[in-house]
């Protein structure tokens, strides 16, 4: 199943107003303090990524479980994984980081399997700039 992307209409009617609300709330909450704005924006981005990907400790525990399950071998090439830097690859991004939906692989093997996979956000941002929502 492909990742759910927003349609151009959803981008314009749902995402753009939501994003503008968030920006206005960040501006308002920081009260003109640029450093506070930076810290709030960074914290919000981090918390949003946790909603999708889980917290770092949860992913670390899952990585360890996958390493044991795969006997320390890459799920793509079958060679031993490095002690650190192995990639927890989701079979379907929307299904999240679970034992069933992930595999532990070499960084290089992961890149070879999906060399042209751009971030879904690139697609959305390209659409947004075409719609000139940010202007
Ligand atoms: Zn490999």
The secondary element (H helix, E strand) that includes residue 89 is strand 87-90
Place of tokens 């031993």: 80
- What local confidence, expressed as pLDDT, does residue 116 receive? 60
Distance 63 CA to ligand 1 centre (A): 15
CB 57 within 8 A of CB 71: no
Q: Which two tokens stand for residue 16?
A: 């753009």
Distance 127 CA to ligand 1 centre (A): 35
Distance 19 CA to ligand 1 centre (A): 39
| Cα 73 from chain centre | 25
The chain-wide mean pLDDT, for the chain, equals: 88
The tens digit of pLDDT for each residue in 47-100 reads 999 998 899 999 999 999 999 999 999 999 999 999 999 999 999 989 999 999
* C-beta neighbour count of 53 within 10 angstroms: 15
- What local confidence, expressed as pLDDT, does residue 3 receive? 86
Contacts of 5 (CB under 8 A, 6+ apart): 120, 123, 124
CA atoms of 11 and 22, how far apart (whole Å): 15
Q: How would you classify residue 123: left for phi > 0, otherwise alpha for psi between -120 and 50, otherwise beta?
A: alpha
Distance 110 CA to ligand 1 centre (A): 8
């Amino acid at each position: 199943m492909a990742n759910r992307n927003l349609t151009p209409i959803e981008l314009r009617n749902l995402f753009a107003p939501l994003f503008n609300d968030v920006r206005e709330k960040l501006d308002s909450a920081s009260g003109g303090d640029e450093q506070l704005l930076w810290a709030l924006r960074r914290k919000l981005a981090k918390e949003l990524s946790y909603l999708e990907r889980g917290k770092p400790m949860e992913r670390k525990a899952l990585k360890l479980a996958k390493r044991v399950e795969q006997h320390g071998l890459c799920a793509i090439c079958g060679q031993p994984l490095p002690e650190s830097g192995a990639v927890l690859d989701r079979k379907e991004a929307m299904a999240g980081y679970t034992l069933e939906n992930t595999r532990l692989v070499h960084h290089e093997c992961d890149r070879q399997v999906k060399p042209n996979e751009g971030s879904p956000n690139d697609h959305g941002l390209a659409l947004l700039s075409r719609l000139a929502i940010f202007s």
